[in-house]
Amino acid sequence: MSNLVDAADLSVTFVLVHGSGSNAYGWSPVAAELGLRGHRVVAVDLPGHGPGAYLPLSYQAPQDLERLRTEPSPIAGTTLADCAAHVAAVVRRAHRNGPVVLAGQSLGGVTVNAAADLVPELISHLVYVSALCPSKRASVSELMATPEAATSYIFRMTPVPTPPELGVTRVNWRSNDPAFFQIAKEAMAADYSDAEVRAMLNILEPDESAAIGASDGRGLAHKWGGIPRTFVRFTEDRTLPLALQDLMIRDADETTPDNRFRVRSLAAPHIGPRDPALLADELEQVARLCR
């Protein structure tokens, strides 16, 4: 009963943004937990994801691995500006009901930056859940080139070798290579069971627009930089190593020294804690700051 009373009193809407190759379903456990506590939650499918995803014919069983290297994908035309406009439109609608907390995980952090620049006056708090947050360094590509990112398992998880002109980063999540499975597990969900990891891989989508990681994703200091923000560090993350998370926090704090990150930590791998209540607890704490 106390949770229901608290949720009604907090009266925020959580807008949740997924990471690369994912979709709104990736937030499902946390969204369900927040909903059961009485919160309003919207998990967003970014353009080219979720029901709008393109799954190459060569990705289906039996796979045509040669064709998978060259089959075009419409997501190649998706830009960071497209993603930001899509999320900003959701924020505008959600704001009609009261304060909005905008949260992003992994690559979704870049879209959070860009969307915050479009509608800073409509967002009460930003949350980066082990998410990419360029500020002093312009792009995801620049962040991943830092020494702090050198131990990332993403460099061990070889993508499908598509030609640059295809404009996509493609990962064969349905690969039957045991070595790939083990690397993917270590990268994203090391403490999960093999069965849980297989279930996760089967909801991921193979294609992501290469333009997102190469785009300037820095938030503007006078827009993004004026919104209160929290970074939830995942201390067991091997995709975005803790050193990289801490670098992004420092960079952002130096960019807007009068509005520094509120920092929280969870002992979790890249996809988050096995118990969604732990992350829901952190988001509820953010909601209390918006009263």
- CB contact at 8 A, 230 and 104: no
Q: What is the pLDDT along the chain (291 residues), one digit of tens a residue?
A: 344 445 545 589 999 999 999 999 999 999 999 999 999 999 999 999 999 999 999 999 999 999 999 999 999 999 999 999 999 999 999 999 999 999 999 999 999 999 999 999 999 999 999 999 999 999 999 999 999 999 999 999 999 999 999 999 999 999 999 999 999 999 999 999 999 999 999 999 999 999 999 999 999 999 999 999 999 999 999 999 999 999 999 999 999 999 999 999 999 999 999 999 999 999 999 999 997
- Name the pTM for this structure: 0.95
